[in-house]
Amino acid sequence: MKSLKLFFLAALCLVSMAATAQNQPQKPQTKAQMNAQKLGTVLYLIENFYVDTTNMDKVTEDAIVAALKELDPHSAYISKKDVEKANEPLVGSFEGIGVTFQLIRDTITVISPVAGGPSEKVGIMAGDQFIKIDGEECFGKKVDNEYVQKHLRGKKGTKVTVSVKRGNSPELIDFEITRDKIPVNSINASYMLDNHVGYIKLDRFAQESTQEFKQAFTKLQAQGMESLIFDLRGNTGGYLNTAIELVDQFITEDKLIVFTEGTHSPRQEWRSTKAGLYTIGKLVVLIDEGSASASEILSGAIQDHDRGVVIGRRSFGKGLVQRPFNLPDGSQMRLTTSRYHTPSGRCIQRPYENGADDYAKEMKKRLEHGEYYHADSIHFPDSLKFKTDGGRTVYGGGGIMPDIFIPVDTAYNSKLYTNLVRKGALNRYTTDYGLKHRDALKAQYGDFEHFNKDFTVGKDLIDGLKAAAKEAKVEWNDEQFAHSEKFILLQMKALIARNVWDTQQYYQVMASVDPGIQKAMEVLGNEKEYKRLLKVK
């Protein structure tokens, strides 16, 4: 069965070659041509002789998906209709009306219009609820994220009419919005943690990420930044070129950044240039089990060149290079063609010989083995030992092991907190509260800095959360609340700040209890310890 699946894939790529060969003087066929011809025959026989009517497009696509699954965990097929959507987060923009929204009680609720976007230009405001789109009611169980995208996104220049409920007014307000290109930023936050340490959180390695980084870095430098924390936790990767460009900002000229190799792909190297913005100052890179691919290229290069301290937990271990191949119908195959290696020679990719199902359970295994809580639960064989420029020992075998291990915060561990998040009670309640009290909070505190300093989550908000928990059928447990209380209250404050101001303010509030950030601040504030970790004088 496995070989049949692989034959289907070969047929799609080579059937035209086989057909051409039949019209030329007979030559011995290659194995690939024979397989292509064989599969072309199979598809023909299914379409013309199978007992029931078949959807040959689906048969073909299912065969491709099954074949790629047999190869490795990251080769993938993307249908024609999904190609644009798959590329969107990395390209850095999409076309639509430009709002950040949430579905609150099956209603599209505007959290904030994108600054300068089409919705802001016509007067859409935070807190507005969309009741109709082009005259059709747009609330209730039929409304999900896919529904919203289908009805509100669209080609630049096209128009959509929305009927909005604002505040307590019973009258709906109609707006005609002309869709336009909407920027998708890849930097979630950039701000000063104190007078000397700057913080930048990168969500993904997108097309515009390097330019965004330069702007954020320049802004922080103007505010007196002397050291930088670069947060890649949860960053699943993106464009290789962007990763290379960002590493280039941190290391000096003509140093190896990354190299790739594969059976059919000769070794290819990328080296640094003279363009770096920040090649001298102190640097910490934060990673965790969600940091993958491009995040591992960057953190691996920083570690191998002893350029900065890597803090967190072992990264995901995704070091396979996918090359996109466009298929005749507009669909796309992303085929693994080589592997990433860090400058010291470490292969980033973790093993996948036991199949896709076993590979998918890797994070669960790490949890069961205690890796999220204890660094000594991770063991590397000596055969995977490598050396950094300064002679420090680092290990291959999948993922980047940080220089300083940070366990998962046990405040996450209560069943109450997990259920409040999983069933949406925490997010829904804080969103409701933020939208309802936005004007009052801004009037009372003036700006975020005063809010962050003076606002506290009191008994009235806790009671409100209890009511939201009851509505969501989350059983309230006082003992579990006491265990996670500090974290839950800060989460509430951070989520309210996000809904009143912006996403960055969420991260600013949470920084005070973020173990990774706190450890990074400690290391950056201790010159002797920083140098000891990097073995520099």
| 390 and 536 Cβ atoms separated by less than 8 Å | yes
Which are the contacts of 332, defined by CB distance < 8 A and separation ≥ 6?
77, 78, 83, 86, 324, 325, 326
Q: Hey, which residues are catalytic here?
A: 293, 304, 318
* Alpha-carbon dihedral sign for residues 489, 490, 491, 492: positive
Alpha-carbon distances of 70 from 65, 75, 419, 447, rounded to whole Å: 9, 9, 36, 55
**Which residues, listed in sequence order, are joined to residue 189 by a DSSP beta bridge?**
201
Q: Write the DSSP symbol of residue 22.
A: H
Residue 17 to residue 7: CA distance in whole angstroms: 15
> At 470, which helix (H) or strand (E)?
helix 459-471
Rg (CA), the chain: 26
Q: Which of 406, 398, 408, 401 is nearest to 314 (CA)?
A: 401
Residue 111 to residue 118: CA distance in whole angstroms: 15
Tell me how many degrees the CA angle 346-348-353 measures, rounded to the nearest 5: 110
Residue 101 to residue 438: CA distance in whole angstroms: 16
Alpha-carbon distances of 104 from 282, 369, 423, 524, 537, rounded to whole Å: 43, 38, 12, 42, 56
| 315 alpha-carbon distance from chain centroid | 13
| Strand 197-202 relative to strand 227-231, pairing | parallel
Could you tell me the two tokens for 446? 């003036």
| 108 and 153 Cβ atoms separated by less than 8 Å | no
